[in-house]
């Protein structure tokens, strides 16, 4: 404030930043800035004689715009296109990003539900051996494909062969874990089918 020729010069518009400075202030890595330079997404307007990057205020603004768009889930390629004005229908792009995010929410939620069902099954068993848990996880996945009658028979049979090798306590725990898992799976499946029906509507179709 009082110094005028300390680190930055007083010339308006002449303030520049070195990579390290810009990186720490923007909470990105130096490597990220190098990467954006390589991609041509953000090339510093100046260089020192030694070849060190110097970012101007305009460059900094562009970086902020890049980080903003990146924060909305755009790929760097899309970020570049948007900033270059190569995208005419931005609303359409945002719409697609939204659908993608919704899909991610559905997928992650379904995964979360299945995992917590496994954990509930685990806690139901007093001594959850690794084989038990594996069995439950496999059974849950098995149900995700529709089984042909023969496959179902074989699954039953292999389950039987397997459970014959267990102590009564282990067998009971396995049964209980499986029941837990199956019911949770059904919930997930029901939700999935509902979602599938909704997304099967033609594009642009609305309920009114």
Partner DNA sequence: TTGCTCCTCACGTCACGTGAGGTGGC
Give the footprint of DNA on this chain (CB under 7 A).
18-21, 23, 28-32, 34-35, 48-53, 70, 75-77
The answer to the question of residue 138 lying near a second copy (CB under 8 A) is yes
190 binds, among a second copy, DNA, none (CB under 5 to 8 A by kind): none
What are the helix (H) ranges across 18-148? 19-26, 30-39, 57-71, 76-83, 90-124, 130-144
Distance CA 185, CA 115 (A): 10
Min separation Cβ 43 and a second copy, Å: 20
Q: What are φ and ψ of residue 72, in 5° steps?
A: -95, 10
Instruction: Output 26 or 43, the one with its CB closest to a second copy.
Output: 26
Min separation Cβ 66 and DNA, Å: 8
Q: Candidates 45, 109, 163, 183: give the one binding a second copy (CB under 8 A).
A: 109
Beta bridge partners of 18: 54
Residue 16's SS3 state is coil
58 binds, among a second copy, DNA, none (CB under 5 to 8 A by kind): none
Q: What's the Rg (C-alpha) of the chain? A: 28
Q: Candidates 19, 140, 181, 184: give the one binding a second copy (CB under 8 A).
A: 140
């Amino acid at each position: 404030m009082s110094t005028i020729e300390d680190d930055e010069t007083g010339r308006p518009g002449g303030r520049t930043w070195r990579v390290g400075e810009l990186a720490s202030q923007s909470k990105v890595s130096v490597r990220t800035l190098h990467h954006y330079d390589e991609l041509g997404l953000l090339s510093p307007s100046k260089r020192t004689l030694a070849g060190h990057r110097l970012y101007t205020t305009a460059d900094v603004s562009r970086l902020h715009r890049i980080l903003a768009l990146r924060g909305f889930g755009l790929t760097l390629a899309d970020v570049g296109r948007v900033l270059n004005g190569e995208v005419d229908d931005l609303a359409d792009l945002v719409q697609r990003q939204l659908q993608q995010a919704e899909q991610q929410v559905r997928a992650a939620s379904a995964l979360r539900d299945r995992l917590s069902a496994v954990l509930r099954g685990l806690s139901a068993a007093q001594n959850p051996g690794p084989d038990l848990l594996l069995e439950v996880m496999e059974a849950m996945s098995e149900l995700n494909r529709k089984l042909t009658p023969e496959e179902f028979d074989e699954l039953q049979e292999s389950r039987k062969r397997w459970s014959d090798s267990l102590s009564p306590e282990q067998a009971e725990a396995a049964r209980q874990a499986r029941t837990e898992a199956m019911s949770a799976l059904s919930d997930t499946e029901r939700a999935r089918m509902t979602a599938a029906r909704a997304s099967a509507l033609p594009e642009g179709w609305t309920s009114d």
